[in-house]
Amino acid sequence: MATETHEFQAEVKKLLDLMIHSLYSNKDVFLRELISNASDALDRLRFEGLTQAELLPDEELAIRLFADSEARTLILEDNGIGMSRADLVENLGTIARSGTLEFLRDAAASGETSPDLIGQFGVGFYSSFMVADQVSVLSRRAGEETATLWSTDGSGEYSLEEAKRDSAGTTITLHLKPADGEDGISDYSEEWTLRQIVTRYSDFVSYPIRLTTMKQEEGDDLAKAVEIEEPLNSMKAIWTRPASEVSDEEYKEFYSHITHDHEEPLLHLATALEGTFEARALLYLPSRAPMDLYHREMAHRGIQLYVRRVFIMDECRDLMPEYLRFVKGVVDAEDLSLNVSREMLQQDRQIQAIRKHLVKKVLESLKALKEEDEEKYLGFWAQFGPVLKEGLLPFDEKKERILELVYAATTGDQAQLTSLSDYVDRMGEDQEAIYYMTGSSREVLAGSPHLEAFAEKGLEVLLFTDPVDEVWLEQMPPDYREKKFQSVGRGEIDLGSKDEKDGEESNQEAEAYKDLIQCMGNALQEEVKEVRLSNRLKQSPSCLVVDEGDLSPQLEAMLRQAGQDVPDRKPILEVNPDHAILKRLQAIFEKDGTDARLSEFSELLFGQAVLAGGGQLTDPGTFTRKLSGLMEKAL
Ligand code: ADP
Ligand code: MG
């Protein structure tokens, strides 16, 4: 086959442009990216070799660097899985994940301080163009006979031609740009520079990284290739070493090695499972939520599974429940088969035992963090709280332990979040339930009429504002420290109003308003289930309440949005018998029970209640017209 020329996908062109006029000040990372690709390729070969031993080469699996300062080239070679012609087109001519470019551009435009997103978004290879103006890739797929040479100067096209390579693997040749201190480009043909970068970023790569440099000996005219004997990296599987012998620095480097996140992790946790099943794990909590935390379809690296130090797979989801999907790290199991497949993992008893152990450890260390350093814990909570709360949805065993970790806004100290346990500690002796309200924001909730009676009695109410709160609180959460959860916007509220109206007084009130209430109910029969007198209102004339057993309107809206069929349930309108509006309405009613104003005002009270609850009017036009008419009369 002759040489073919191909255009890069438009997204790739833009990306290359970003790389060439690089927005990243740290150019050294290109080497980490290429080494990590080589290491992935070796992992994949080793994995396929488990079932197809003939694919494995006789010589050592390794990553080799050849640096030539005369020719200004740096060559990276691996004897890993390699790429076919089609693989090259697919992997090095397109961007696999849609949206990647947008993310990178936005991050660059917003001037994010350390957006080391190159690796995170699977565009590592293209980072070579930060340091090279000509790149070629010679690759041969394991199990195939022919090789392909891919090359480009990064300007928009690349060429492909058939080529020869003695065995499977990949050779990447970079024609280096001149070193430029100002632009952060070091001399990547120098031993010292390469050694530094490798120890910094790739020390834990589990294959030897060997360096050969061109040396000119005294008296010799020709430079000779000299291989440096020791690999540049230590290759130590950090999780197999006793924690006391690993420095914090090493733990951090390993974290960025496996996650490509160059912010420091919030904490790490080394743990071993002993007994029937043996495994070691080294887990990390990131400091910051990745952008794809809520995009299930986007890959997140999560937990890597090793079996007896052999890499098996990235993203082993069976080792961590969804609500802990932000946990990163490595699990190394002793007794699993190397041939284990993703499908088999789900049923594997060892995997289940490991998962149980890991969940327990993660929750325990979060609890310890909360107790020892609340400020740091709140930083974690701000990033991952909503995800953690997914664990409170049904069918999970860990509810109790997760409730221990929950924080929420409160009507008490408005500037701060409070933990559930601190809330319960503050509860008065006769307070029976944990009072809470859910809604879209703390501001909307704080002004809600539902809170009036609570405020008057000095009762603190928790304000939950994440969408997931609607769901878990709706599912009847278990009692927490023997206290029930009680929504202030649901059902009848009895705040033990002994000292105010006695039973008789409120009976009389009910009797007096009975007919008016009936009349309002008729006027609003399309909108509400019932109109009734309220004992939760103090200043406001009306509010909406969800009936015991009905879905909250927010949850209803969420379910509808998710395409579910939700029965139409109407709320209850509560009106305040002590409010002047009610008293006037009563007077009108007594004069003439058919007065048109009665239904008009009922509509307005209903509309107000919708708005005060943070809801939306179905017919805002009519509401505002009525309101304007009223204002006109009043003025
Ligand atoms: P990522 O590694 O996140 O997938 P990269 O841009 O670094 O993104 O690499 C793109 C793809 O190119 C890889 O997924 C892999 O399929 C392929 N690739 C890159 N380098 C090699 C290599 N040395 N050997 C085999 N395949 C490679
Ligand atoms: Mg990569």
Which CATH number belongs to the domain containing residue 532 in this structure? Answer: 1.20.120.790
- Structure tokens of 403? 């409730």
| Nearest alpha carbon, ligand 1 atom 4 | 122
* 469 and 612 both lie in a single domain: no
- CA distances (Å), origin 596, targets 584, 589, 623: 14, 10, 16
| Atom of ligand 1 at shortest range from CA of 78 | 23
Structural domain of 453: 406-487
Predicted confidence (pLDDT) per residue in 305-319, tens digit: 888 777 777 788 899
Predicted confidence (pLDDT) per residue in 321-348, tens digit: 889 999 999 999 988 876 677 777 878 8
- CA distances (Å), origin 124, targets 97, 200, 304, 444: 13, 17, 19, 44
Sheet holding 147-152, edge to edge: 4-7, 157-163, 147-152, 132-140, 169-176, 73-78, 63-68, 209-215, 224-227
* 247 and 204 both lie in a single domain: no
| Nearest alpha carbon, ligand 1 atom 11 | 91
CA of residue 41 to ligand 1 center, whole Å: 8
| Nearest alpha carbon, ligand 1 atom 15 | 91
Last residue in a domain, options 487, 514, 539: 487
In a domain, residue 397? The reply is no
Which residues lie below 8 Å from residue 287, measured CB to CB, with a gap of 6+? Answer: 263, 264, 265, 266, 379, 383
The sign of the CA dihedral 473, 476, 477, 480 is: positive
pLDDT at 400: 82
CA of residue 28 to ligand 2 center, whole Å: 15
| Nearest alpha carbon, ligand 1 atom 27 | 37
For the chain, the maximum distance between any two Cα atoms, rounded to a whole number of angstroms, is: 120
Residue ranges of the chain with per-residue pLDDT less than 50: 112-116, 119, 299, 498-499
CA of residue 197 to ligand 2 center, whole Å: 17
CA of residue 363 to ligand 1 center, whole Å: 35
* 475 and 577 both lie in a single domain: no
- What is the Cα–Cα distance from 445 to 454, expressed in whole angstroms? 13
What is the CATH classification number for the domain harbouring 63? 3.30.565.10
- Residue 211 has φ and ψ, to the nearest 5°, of -115, 135
| Nearest alpha carbon, ligand 1 atom 7 | 124
On whether the CB atoms of residues 15 and 154 are closer than 8 A, the answer is no
* 222 and 243 both lie in a single domain: no
Q: Which ligand is nearest to the CA of 41?
A: 1
CA of residue 119 to ligand 2 center, whole Å: 6
In a domain, residue 383? The reply is no
What b/e sequence results for 70-92 when a residue is b if at least 16 CB atoms lie within 10 Å of its CB, and e otherwise?
eebbbbbbbbbbbbbbeebbebb
- Structure tokens of 406? 């929950």
* 258 and 227 both lie in a single domain: no
Q: How far apart are the first and last CA of the chain?
A: 89
> Bridge partners of 132?
176
Total structural domains within the chain: 4
To test ligand 1's pocket by mutation, which of 125, 148, 259, 260 has the most ligand atoms within 8 angstroms of CB?
125
| Nearest alpha carbon, ligand 1 atom 8 | 122
Tell me the helices (H) and strands (E) count for the chain, helix number first: 20, 22
CA of residue 173 to ligand 1 center, whole Å: 15
The sign of the CA dihedral 577, 579, 581, 584 is: positive
* 269 and 309 both lie in a single domain: yes
- What is the Cα–Cα distance from 541 to 577, expressed in whole angstroms? 8
Alpha-carbon Rg for the chain, nearest whole angstrom, is 33
| Nearest alpha carbon, ligand 1 atom 21 | 37
Question: What is the CB < 6 Å shell around ligand 1?
Answer: 33, 37-38, 41, 78, 80-83, 91-92, 122-125, 170
Q: Closest Cα to residue 528, out of 551, 547, 555?
A: 547
* 371 and 439 both lie in a single domain: no
Q: Closest Cα to residue 92, out of 25, 34, 158, 170?
A: 158
* 462 and 562 both lie in a single domain: no
CA of residue 88 to ligand 1 center, whole Å: 9
- Residue at token pair 């740290």: 26
| Atom of ligand 1 at shortest range from CA of 81 | 25
- Structure tokens of 587? 């007077």
To test ligand 1's pocket by mutation, which of 11, 19, 37 has the most ligand atoms within 8 angstroms of CB?
37
CA of residue 325 to ligand 1 center, whole Å: 24
pLDDT at 166: 96
Q: Can you tell me whether residue 375 is helix, strand or coil?
A: helix
* 511 and 483 both lie in a single domain: no
* 61 and 184 both lie in a single domain: yes
Q: Which ligand is nearest to the CA of 299?
A: 1
What is the CATH classification number for the domain harbouring 254? 3.30.230.80
- What is the Cα–Cα distance from 407 to 420, expressed in whole angstroms? 6
Which residues lie below 8 Å from residue 302, measured CB to CB, with a gap of 6+? Answer: 314, 315, 316, 317, 319, 320, 325, 327, 328
- Residue 288 has φ and ψ, to the nearest 5°, of -135, 140
pLDDT at 112: 46
| Atom of ligand 1 at shortest range from CA of 124 | 7
DSSP letter string, 457-498: TT---EEE-SHHHHHHHHT-PPPBTTBEEEETTBS-----GG
Alpha helices in 307-429 (DSSP H): 342-347, 349-372, 374-388, 399-403, 420-426
CA of residue 34 to ligand 2 center, whole Å: 7
- CA distances (Å), origin 509, targets 138, 151, 498, 533, 535: 89, 87, 16, 9, 12
Q: Which ligand is nearest to the CA of 128?
A: 1
- What is the Cα–Cα distance from 453 to 533, expressed in whole angstroms? 14
In a domain, residue 391? The reply is no
In a domain, residue 41? The reply is yes
* 279 and 264 both lie in a single domain: yes
| Atom of ligand 1 at shortest range from CA of 123 | 6
* 101 and 211 both lie in a single domain: yes
CA of residue 301 to ligand 2 center, whole Å: 12
CA of residue 39 to ligand 2 center, whole Å: 9
- Structure tokens of 559? 């379910």
| Nearest alpha carbon, ligand 1 atom 16 | 91
- What is the Cα–Cα distance from 388 to 376, expressed in whole angstroms? 16
